[in-house]
Amino acid sequence: MVTVRVPAKVNVQLGVGGLRADGFHDLANVFFAVALFDEVTATPAEGVTLSCEGPDAALVPLDDTNLAARAARLLAAHHGLAEPGVHLHITKAIPVAGGMAGGSADGAAALLACDALWGLGTPLETLLELAAELGSDVPFALLGGVALGRGRGEILESLPVRGTFHWVFAVADGGLSTPAVFRECDRLRDEAGTGFTEADVPTPDADAALLAALADGDPVALAGALANDLQAAALSLRPSLADTLRAGTEAGALAALVSGSGPTCAFLVKDAEAAAAVAAALRASGACRAAHPTYGPVPGAAVRT
């Protein structure tokens, strides 16, 4: 039996370029791993089967569309294993369809768990390539820390970061579909008359002020540099998120933004004490289903010993 623990992410910068011919968008995506973890436990079994526990377990598909199952099959195929055998049990704490890459995290964890269970010893470089086949956010879940993702988010470069930053995550009722949020971003750009394809939108770049704030361990500077090009689209599809963002800011957060494609909202705060206070105020406001104080960066997926 092998258990892998894997973190959620927030995007401290999510610069979205134009729509590409392949249906993806070029990104300047600064991933930041936070201490909100799923666990995936792999045990020997016949075929590939899944189970899930946690408050959102009913929302997790347990068929072959689940990234954890796809990861097991992809790893087996890569090594020419005819009959992959594993049961994967997911202990879910990362919000489902929440913009925190929970499904991607489970895919990354399953790659690592199956690799250990089957004794394959796949090099990290190969696992990162397989992860990129599974989805744009899966490689980062293996890497953790803070990293710049280029291309559709899968070409990663680890970034220097000092110290610990404190966060609160406000979980919404119900998820948002990532493709739907990207489509809404395109639609809003089209409506604004700026165009939305690669030809119209310049390829985004990492923000130098944001990278400096991370390297300096300066939460106030980071708060001023947080940016998410998908936020307007997430707010357009879920206008109530504006109330959630406002509730956190009024409670004393340094900054508020939608996490990835949403609907989870992220609040950067100055320390652990502020995180507890902002989480309590968010819960009391009724503007979210749950509020989790946490911190980061933390390492990527790892086998629990």
**Cα–Cα distance measured from residue 258 to residue 98, given in angstroms and rounded to the nearest whole number:** 10
Q: What is the DSSP string of 244-279?
A: HHHHHHHTT-SEEEE-TTSSSEEEEESSHHHHHHHH
Residue 137 bears catalytic tag: yes
Quote the least distance from Cβ 305 to ligand C5P, whole Å: 30
Between 100 and 278, CB nearer to ligand C5P: 100
Asked whether residue 85 is marked as a ligand-binding residue, the answer is no
Asked whether residue 102 is marked as a ligand-binding residue, the answer is yes
> How many other β-carbons are positioned within 10 Å of the β-carbon of residue 293?
21
Candidates 38, 115, 137, 186; catalytic one? 137
Angle formed by the axes of helices 102-117 and 67-78, nearest 10°:
40
Tell which one of 80, 119, 121, 179 touches ligand C5P (CB under 6 A).
Answer: 179
Structure tokens at 42: 């792999």
- Torsion sign, CA atoms 241, 244, 248, 250: positive
- Torsion sign, CA atoms 219, 97, 292, 131: negative
Asked whether residue 28 is marked as a ligand-binding residue, the answer is no
Tell which one of 9, 25, 92, 292 touches ligand C5P (CB under 6 A).
Answer: 25
Asked whether position 24 contacts ligand C5P by CB under 6 A, the answer is yes
Quote the least distance from Cβ 129 to ligand C5P, whole Å: 14
- Amino acid at residue number 12: V
> How many other β-carbons are positioned within 10 Å of the β-carbon of residue 43?
15
Structure-token match 């690799």, residue found: 115
Site for ligand C5P in 93-152 (CB under 6 A): 135-137, 152
Quote the least distance from Cβ 46 to ligand C5P, whole Å: 28
Quote the least distance from Cβ 17 to ligand C5P, whole Å: 9
Q: Which stretch binds ligand C5P (CB under 6 A): 22-30, 42-50, 197-205, 239-247?
A: 22-30
Asked whether residue 98 is marked as a ligand-binding residue, the answer is yes
Instruction: Decide if 266 contacts 256 (C-beta within 8 A).
Output: yes
Asked whether position 23 contacts ligand C5P by CB under 6 A, the answer is yes
Asked whether residue 97 is marked as a ligand-binding residue, the answer is yes
The pair phi, psi for residue 233, each rounded to 5°, is -70, -45
Asked whether residue 105 is marked as a ligand-binding residue, the answer is yes
> How many other β-carbons are positioned within 10 Å of the β-carbon of residue 129?
14
Between 182 and 196, CB nearer to ligand C5P: 182
Asked whether position 70 contacts ligand C5P by CB under 6 A, the answer is no
Angle formed by the axes of helices 124-134 and 67-78, nearest 10°:
130
Between 153 and 293, CB nearer to ligand C5P: 153
Binding-site residue ranges:
95-105
Binding-site residue ranges for ATP:
95-105
Catalytic residue numbers read 9, 137
Site residues (vs ligand C5P, CB under 6 A): 23-25, 27, 135-137, 152-153, 178-179, 182
